[in-house]
Amino acid sequence: QSVLTQPPSVSGAPGQRVTISCTGNSSNIGADSVVHWYQQLPGTAPKLLIYGYNNRPSGVPDRFSGSKSGTSASLAITGLLAEDEADYYCQSYDSSLRAYVFGGGTKVTVL
Amino acid sequence: QVQLVESGGGVVQPGRSLRLSCAASGITFSRYGMHWVRQTPGKGLEWVALISYDGTDQYYANSVKGRFTISRDNSKNTLYLHMNSLRAEDTALYYCAKAPGGGTRVFFDAWGQGTLVTVSS
């Protein structure tokens, strides 16, 4: 069971907007630990998608955005494309565990 | 372009040892903290260990503390993970990952392709 909780799956039609939640607690996201997001395409390693809540590495389209509220963070994908079909993971730091922690991952399906 | 290439995975019996390596290129290796992260179908991604840029500090997940040792050789641009007393639950795909910063704000901006460790009798 992961420290950060994500929905197992979300889906949307091409062009739609989907959001993925990442829920933590007062030892991680609620303690102002920064949240980062990764995209993992089938058969490949995770790739950094968003860092520091809402910063995109070079090459990541602005269709991807992040936000935080309280003990939760969210990743939004607008203008959904078939190529966005992948697993998405959130990551933060837990001060109680003294460890970097991940969410369980969310599979995005483009209908 | 950053390239991280892991090796050393394989099938090993419970209680035995294994050493993973990660060869880095395309970066000034000695400037960055490096991590091992593992992935299993059932448990997803799990951070395993961190070593500081100069090798003086190491940190471990509770699940591997006392059994795994992370080390690096900056002259060879190589990261290592020495795994002792292996258990079935250590079965996973092991990634090395580069972190541009340190402390609580760490994120992983480059990953290897992973090396598979299977612990089974």
Question: Dihedral (C-alpha) A87, A93, A95, A99: value to the nearest 10 degrees?
Answer: 80
Residues from chain B contacting residue A98 (CB–CB below 8 Å): 59
Tell whether the model's pLDDT for residue B3 goes beyond 90. yes
Question: What is the C-alpha separation between B118 and B38, in angstroms, rounded?
Answer: 12
**Beta-strand pair B92-99/B115-119:** antiparallel
Amino acid of residue B109: D
In contact, A92 and A34? CB cutoff 8 Å: yes
Does B33 lie at the interface with A, CB-CB under 8 angstroms? no
Contact A91 B112 (CB under 8 A): no
Q: In this complex, how many residue pairs, one in chain A and one in chain B, have their CB atoms less than 8 Å apart? A: 57
Question: What is the C-alpha separation between A92 and B47, in angstroms, rounded?
Answer: 11
Question: What is the C-alpha separation between B15 and B73, in angstroms, rounded?
Answer: 26
Residues from chain A contacting residue B110 (CB–CB below 8 Å): 48
pLDDT band at B54 (very low <50, low <70, confident <90, very high): very high
Tell whether the model's pLDDT for residue B104 goes beyond 90. no
What is the mean predicted confidence (pLDDT) over B99-107?
87
Question: What is the C-alpha separation between A37 and B108, in angstroms, rounded?
Answer: 10
Q: How many CB atoms lie within 10 A of CB B53?
A: 17
Percentage of the residues of chain A whose pLDDT score is greater than 90: 90
Residues from chain A contacting residue B62 (CB–CB below 8 Å): 97, 99
Q: Which of A34, A37, A4 is CA-nearest to residue A19?
A: A37
Q: How far is CA B114 from CA A9, A46, B21, B34, in A?
A: 24, 10, 10, 14
Nearest CA in chain A to B47: A100
Q: Which pLDDT value is given to residue A106?
A: 97
Q: Which of A106, A86, A74, A102 is CA-nearest to residue A8?
A: A106
Does B57 lie at the interface with A, CB-CB under 8 angstroms? no
The sign of the dihedral angle between the CA atoms of B23, B61, B105, A43 is positive
pLDDT band at B43 (very low <50, low <70, confident <90, very high): confident
